[in-house]
């Protein structure tokens, strides 16, 4: 295993500093982990962004197959480091070794998915409208358009997915696939994992001959280093997964620049789950057991954690009884870091103080996050905005009311990543207003099942109306994610030889095109 050095990567150069930004901390034992990490000096941050800017024309101009080779090399390097990840990951995050290995596989799968996409080439959405010089009353010019990369992208690592949504995760993979150099801001909760992944990317870039500056990794925290990077005029877009407060701050920062830039932030979601009588009739206790598994999976530290359940006012007693039994016996769980635990405890206390809220069950008291489920009427839920706030962890609010009240409550919700409906096919057909309300509030609508577990595939939408994301038209998972870091450009009346290969008349790349 390679020694961790606590340094930033500025292009192909390792850079240290004089100002400590801390060490990794084992959330189970409280032990600090070596090495100490140092804040990237101001001049290093500037150099990282300028290197990205200078690398952009060359990197954007190389072929899709060359960029695909780079992405596959990153995946291979990460796989070669999996034993190191399996040791460092649990000590930094409290997540089990199996999760670290699984997340490594997911990260490599994302990289290879984008490699296949850009190697095939049709993702650029090439559109061709040929000239009609004899058209009356006016001739039509030759017009051809396609997606092109926007420029250097800033990526902020997520605390809850230290690999799949961090240094070499989905934002980085989709930006690099699009042709955008990336400047990553490491998360302070897992600095060692960030260094391992950053080293893999740098080595892959050197191995495949990518221009220096295609990737940099900076330590120093999102509030400090992040501001310097996001406000730099060379940065053209931002990818972020984290809190609503953090994402909103980045949005304001990016919007206030002389040249505003887009921020693609995944922020806040309580992922409502609606249970209708027909679903209860199929087996309340089994449904409660499945729901409990989803609620407490990974100590509830998933952005798709189903923290809000709508249950009929009549019936459901067996569901609630079994859920209460499971929650009461559940132990406290170790969260990723102390800050998340404090926020969870504060959120649970605030919910318990809301008028009309009763505690259905609370888990076994311990040093970590204690699972808890509250119950409230639909009328009291609608009177309280506090009950719509995300509590990141194994906590849930169950709302009891009629289908009409549930529909009204869903319409009053903020945007969500997911909405789930447990019902019979007949109820699905009968409750069209409820289904429409659910669809209007989310990016992914589930019939049955549970939202935890996000498939990485072309049809996945991991996004949703604000505040689930800053832009509900986008997805941070699946091949749709590449579009966040692109813009459309049209070429009018250009000589064929001067057009990008994707738009040339002979279609030398053999891609799918829309032709008129």
Which residues are part of the catalytic machinery?
266, 303
- CB-based contacts of 430, cutoff 8 Å, min separation 6: none
> Which sign, positive or negative, has the C-alpha torsion 395, 399, 405, 407?
positive
Pairing outcome for strands 20-25 and 263-266: unpaired
- 263 touches 211 (CB < 8 A): no
Phi, psi (deg, nearest 5) at residue 472: -70, -5
How would you list the strands of the sheet with 358-362, edge to edge?
358-362, 372-377, 395-401, 308-312, 272-275, 416-422, 442-447
CA distance 461 to 453: 13
CA distance 258 to 407: 43
- 258 touches 233 (CB < 8 A): yes
> Which sign, positive or negative, has the C-alpha torsion 25, 30, 34, 40?
positive
Dihedral angle, C-alpha 400, 405, 407, 408, nearest 10 ° = -120
- 379 touches 401 (CB < 8 A): yes
- 469 touches 266 (CB < 8 A): yes
3-state secondary structure 439-492: HHCEEEEEECCCCCCCCCCCCCCCCCCCCCECCCCCCCCCHHHHHHHEEEEEEE
- 201 touches 176 (CB < 8 A): no
């Amino acid at each position: 295993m390679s020694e961790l050095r606590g340094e930033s990567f500025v292009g192909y150069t390792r850079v240290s500093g004089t100002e400590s930004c801390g060490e990794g901390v084992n959330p189970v034992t409280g032990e600090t982990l070596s090495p100490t990490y140092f804040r990237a000096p101001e001049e290093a941050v500037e150099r990282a962004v300028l290197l990205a800017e200078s690398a952009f024309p060359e990197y954007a101009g190389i072929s899709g197959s060359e960029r695909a080779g780079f992405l596959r090399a990153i995946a291979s390097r990460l796989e070669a480091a999996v034993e190191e990840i399996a040791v460092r990951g649990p000590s930094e995050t409290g997540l089990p070794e199996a999760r670290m290995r699984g997340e490594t596989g997911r990260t490599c799968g994302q990289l290879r998915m984008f490699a296949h996409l850009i190697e095939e080439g049709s993702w650029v959405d090439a559109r061709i409208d040929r000239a009609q010089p004899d058209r009356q009353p006016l001739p039509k010019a030759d017009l051809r358009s396609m997606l092109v990369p926007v420029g250097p992208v800033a990526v902020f690592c997520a605390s809850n997915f230290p690999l799949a949504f961090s240094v070499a995760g989905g934002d980085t993979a989709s930006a690099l696939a699009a042709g955008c150099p990336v400047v990553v801001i490491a998360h302070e909760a897992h600095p060692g994992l960030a260094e391992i992944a950053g080293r893999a990317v740098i080595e892959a870039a050197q191995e495949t001959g990518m221009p220096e500056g295609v990737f940099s990794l900076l330590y120093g925290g999102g509030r400090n280093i992040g501001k310097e990077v996001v406000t730099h005029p060379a940065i053209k877009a931002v990818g972020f997964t984290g809190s609503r407060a953090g994402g909103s701050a980045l949005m304001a920062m990016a919007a206030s620049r002389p040249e505003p830039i887009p921020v693609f932030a995944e922020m806040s979601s309580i992922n409502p789950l609606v249970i209708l009588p027909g679903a209860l009739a199929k087996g309340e206790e089994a449904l409660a057991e499945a729901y409990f598994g989803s609620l407490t999976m990974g100590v509830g530290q998933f952005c798709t954690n189903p923290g809000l359940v709508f249950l009929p006012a009549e019936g459901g007693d067996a569901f609630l009884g079994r859920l209460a039994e499971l929650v009461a016996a559940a132990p406290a769980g170790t969260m990723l870091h102390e800050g998340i635990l404090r926020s969870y405890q504060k959120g649970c206390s605030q919910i318990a103080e809301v008028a009309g809220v009763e505690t259905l069950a609370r888990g076994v008291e311990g040093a970590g996050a204690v699972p808890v489920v509250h119950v409230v009427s639909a009328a009291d839920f609608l009177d309280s905005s506090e009950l719509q706030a995300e509590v990141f962890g194994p906590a849930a609010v169950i709302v009891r009311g009629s289908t009409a009240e549930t529909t009204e409550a869903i319409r009053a919700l903020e945007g969500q990543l997911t909405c789930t409906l447990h019902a019979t096919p007949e109820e699905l057909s009968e409750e069209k207003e409820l289904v429409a309300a659910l669809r209007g509030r989310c990016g992914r609508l589930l019939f049955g099942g549970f939202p935890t577990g996000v498939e990485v595939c072309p049809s996945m939408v991991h996004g949703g109306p604000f505040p689930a994301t800053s832009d509900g038209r986008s997805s941070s998972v699946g091949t749709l994610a590449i579009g966040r870091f692109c813009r459309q450009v049209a070429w009018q009346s250009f000589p064929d030889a001067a057009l990008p290969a994707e738009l040339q008349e002979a279609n030398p790349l053999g891609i799918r095109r829309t032709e008129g």
